[in-house]
């Protein structure tokens, strides 16, 4: 038997969850229906120069919604014996989490790219370098949120509990991130609330990639989110697999 390695295990777990998607890519297309609707039916309300401001926010919103719901795919595998079966194999427990998150991040990046290209038809402008940076930031955010989503799914185990946990956290995070309208338009208390939302800084950073501005605070935010998210996820997967 060859020695186990984390990278190899992660790759196997990634391939296992990726295969059904590759076999049936329709889900990926449905996944971009919602952001496409925002692009077509909400974006034009922001006027001529709105695209440069709106599209980066939309990408962050996709990262949030796309990966926060990722945990749902784990629930049937927990309820049937799939997770249990995997845990009795010698596969690394970390790989069981990271491989899954990897699938969601790959899907997210593909969908984000499609949305950026679609936005260009409306008048969004970006260089290849900007797009690459923008996708990178989105991917990092996806890793953080996806890890937490799987960990919470593993803890609550029930769909209806998981769904209410999600809506109770995602909606305020999104509203306070300034994705749809600038937070500076609102009263001061609302603006300050948005400042303690790490996601708002990620939105600012994503916008700064495509417009003049600083990405520093966003990068700090997203780095912190990745650290906390992955740590929490790995800890939960290790513990629940004791």
Partner 1 sequence: MIKARGLARRFTTKTGPVDAVKGVDVDVAEGELVGFLGPNGAGKSTTLRMLTTLLQPTAGEAVIAGHDLLTDPAGVRQNIGYVGQKNGSGQDQRVADELEFQARFYGLSRHDARRKVADLLERFDLQGLEKRGVITLSGGQQRRLDIAMGMLHDPRLLFLDEPSTALDPQSRRNLWDHIRQLKADGVTVFLTTHYLDEADFLSDRLLVIDHGSIVGEGSPDELKQRVSGDLVVLGTPQASIVASKFENAVVEGEQVSFRIPNGDRALPGLLRDLDNIGVELHSVQVHRPTLDDVFLTMTGRSLREEANAA
- Joined together, the tokens standing for residue 69 give 């719901």
- CA 225/CA 170 separation, integer angstroms: 15
Number of residues that bind partner 1 (CB under 8 A): 26
Q: Give me the least distance between CB of 9 and partner 1, in Å please.
A: 8
Candidates 38-46, 80-88, 133-141, 220-228; binding stretch for partner 1 (CB under 8 A): 80-88
- Considering only residues 5 through 34, tell me which ones interact with partner 1, judged by CB under 8 A: 9, 12, 15-16, 19-20, 23
**Does 87 sit near partner 1 (CB under 8 A)?**
yes
Looking at beta carbons only, is 23 or 188 nearer to partner 1? 23
Looking at beta carbons only, is 16 or 155 nearer to partner 1? 16
If you ran DSSP here, which 8-state letter would residue 176 be given? T
Contacts of 138 (CB under 8 A, 6+ apart): 59, 60, 62, 63, 108, 109, 112, 206
Q: What is the DSSP annotation of 22-49?
A: HH-THHHHHHTHHHHHIIIIIGGGG-TT
Residue selected from 84, 181, 216, 224 as contacting partner 1 according to rule CB under 8 A: 84
Candidates 81-89, 121-129, 147-155, 189-197; binding stretch for partner 1 (CB under 8 A): 81-89
Contacts with partner 1, residue ranges (CB under 8 A): 1-2, 4, 9, 12, 15-16, 19-20, 23, 76-77, 79-82, 84-91, 241-242
């Amino acid at each position: 038997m060859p020695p186990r390695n984390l990278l190899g295990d992660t790759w196997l777990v990634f391939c296992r969850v990726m295969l059904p998607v590759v076999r049936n890519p329709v889900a990926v297309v449905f996944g971009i229906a919602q952001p496409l609707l925002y692009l077509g039916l909400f974006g034009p309300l922001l006027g001529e120069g709105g695209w440069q401001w709106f599209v980066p926010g939309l990408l962050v919103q996709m990262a949030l919604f796309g990966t926060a719901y990722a945990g749902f795919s784990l629930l049937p595998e927990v309820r049937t014996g799939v997770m249990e079966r995997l845990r009795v194999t010698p596969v690394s427990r970390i790989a069981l989490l990271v491989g899954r998150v990897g699938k969601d991040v790959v899907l997210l990046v593909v969908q984000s790219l499609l949305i950026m290209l679609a936005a260009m038809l409306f008048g969004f402008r970006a260089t290849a370098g900007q797009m690459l940076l923008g996708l990178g930031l989105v991917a990092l955010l996806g890793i953080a949120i996806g890890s937490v989503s799987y960990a919470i799914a593993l803890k609550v185990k029930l769909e209806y509990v998981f769904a209410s946990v999600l809506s109770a956290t995602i909606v305020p995070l999104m509203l306070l991130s300034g994705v749809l309208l600038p937070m500076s338009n609102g009263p001061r208390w609302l603006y300050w609330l948005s400042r303690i939302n790490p996601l708002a800084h990620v939105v600012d950073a994503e916008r700064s990639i495509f417009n003049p501005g600083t990405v520093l605070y966003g990068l700090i935010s997203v780095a912190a989110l990745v650290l906390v998210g992955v740590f929490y996820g790995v800890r939960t997967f290790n513990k629940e697999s004791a």
